[in-house]
Structure 1
C-alpha cells in the first residue's frame, strides 16, 4: 500500500527551521514523507530521524526512501516505528545523545489513513470501528463506543469534538448497545443521525464529523501525547535549534501556543535588578501569530484550510 499525502505548509514548516547542512533533525510525524523529502534536499551531510506509529507509513517509507536508508555507515534517514512521545528514548537507542538541531510535527490524520476504508477513521466508508494510528495498541474505537459509560461517552464527544449533542448521541449509543454492539462506522453514523435533531443536520457539514474526531482523539490519546512530546522536544533542542508545529484543531493549537508561551515568557518580580539564568526564557517565538496557508495552497489543498503553523527557537 502506497502512503501518498499532500504536505501542508511544506516550505513554511521546513524553511523556518533554517536547516544546517550537517544538522540532526527529527520528523515527528513522517507519514508520506513530503516534509522529509524537502528537508533532506537541504541537508548535504545531515541526518533526519523519522518517527511514525503507523506501520503502513513506515513500510511505505522503506520502499520510497531506500537509497537514503541504505547509505553505507552514515544513513541520511533513519526510521522509528513509535509514537513521538518517546523521542529521547529512541534517539538514545540510535546513538544520538547530544541534542537535535530541529524538529517538526504535522499533526492529525493523514490522507491515506482516512482513505483506507478498513482503518475505520472515516464516516465515508463502512468498516469496523477502529481508528488506531498504532495498530499494535489494544484500545480501539469499537471498545470505546461499546464499553464506555454513557456519561464518559458524552464527555469524550463534548471535550474532544465540541459536539453540542453529545448527551443525545451517547444516550442513543447506549440504547443500541443493549440490543447489539455498535460494530461499524455506518452503524455509528446512523445512530448519530438519529440522535441529532433534523434542523441541526441540515447545517455545519456531516453530522458525524465531530463524533468521529472525538473518538479518534480519545483512542489515540492525541492531546496527552502531544503535550508530552513537545516538552521533551524542547529539552532535546540544541541552542538555536528550532521547532515547527502544524495543527488542525483548536485544542491542538491551544496546547502548542500555551507550551511555547510557558517557555518563552518569564515573570520578573518587581524590583529585581537582573534576571538570574534559572529564570531566563528557554524559547523565542519566531512567529507571534500562527502562519496559515496562502491563497494558492488553499485552492490546491482543501486540508490546508484549518492548518496553523507555530515556530519557536531554543535560546
Structure 2
C-alpha cells in the first residue's frame, strides 16, 4: 500500500492554482460568449420555436377523438397491423382517462419535432461518412463523446447560452439522440452490395442516382433502425429536459420525485412507456415492410 502511495505521489500532476486559473479562464470566456451572442443565437432558433409552439397548440386544441383517429391511421399506413392500431387506441384512451392528455400531446410534439430535426441533420451526415473515410474518421470520435457523455452535462452549456425553455431542451434532446441515426445511416450505405452498385454504374447511373435510387432504398431498413433508436433516446431524455422548462410527461415525473408522489410518477412514467412502445413497434414494422418489399424487388 505504501509503495502505491509513493508511486502516486511521484506521478506528475498539474498545480491546483494553474488548474483553477484554466477553469476561470474557460468559464469567463464562455460567459462572455453567451452574453455577446446569446440573443443572436436565440433569435436564430425563433422559427423552430414558433413551429414547435404551433404544433403543440394544434395537438392540444384538436379534439381527442380526431387525434386518436389520425394517429391510428398513420400507424396502420406504416405497419398494416390492426392489433397495433387497437393497442394505440386503448393506450390513448387510458392516457385521456387518467388526465394525462395535454402532457402527452406536449411530449408528442417535442418528440416529433426532434425526430424531424434528427432525420434532417443525421441522414446527410451519415451519407457524408459513408462516402468519405476522412469524414468518418473525424465524426466518429464526436459521436463517441456524444453517446458516452452524461445527459445532464448537455444541459449546462445550452442553459448558459439560451436560458430555460423549449429550445434549450430541444437542442439537448437532439444532441443526445442523433448519434444512432448517423451511425446506422453510414453503416447501411456501406453494407450495400458492391455488385449492385457496379450494375447501376454499368447502366449509366450518376453518383446521385446511385445514392437515391440504389443505396438509400437498400439501406432503409438499417436507417429505420437508427430512427427507432433515436426516438427511444429522445423519450428517455424527456424527464431530464423537464428540468429546464420543457413541459410534458417529464414534469409530473420530476414533481413526483421531489414530492414523493408515487402514483403521479408511476402513471406518467407508464404513459412515456406507452409512447415508447407505440413508436418502437411502428418504426420496426415499417422497417420490416420496407425490407420485405426490397427483397421482393430483388428476387423479381
The TM-score with structure 1 as length reference comes to: 0.25
Greater CA radius of gyration, 1 or 2? Answer: 2
Q: Which has the higher helix share?
A: 2
Q: Which has the higher strand share?
A: 1
The TM-score with structure 2 as length reference comes to: 0.26
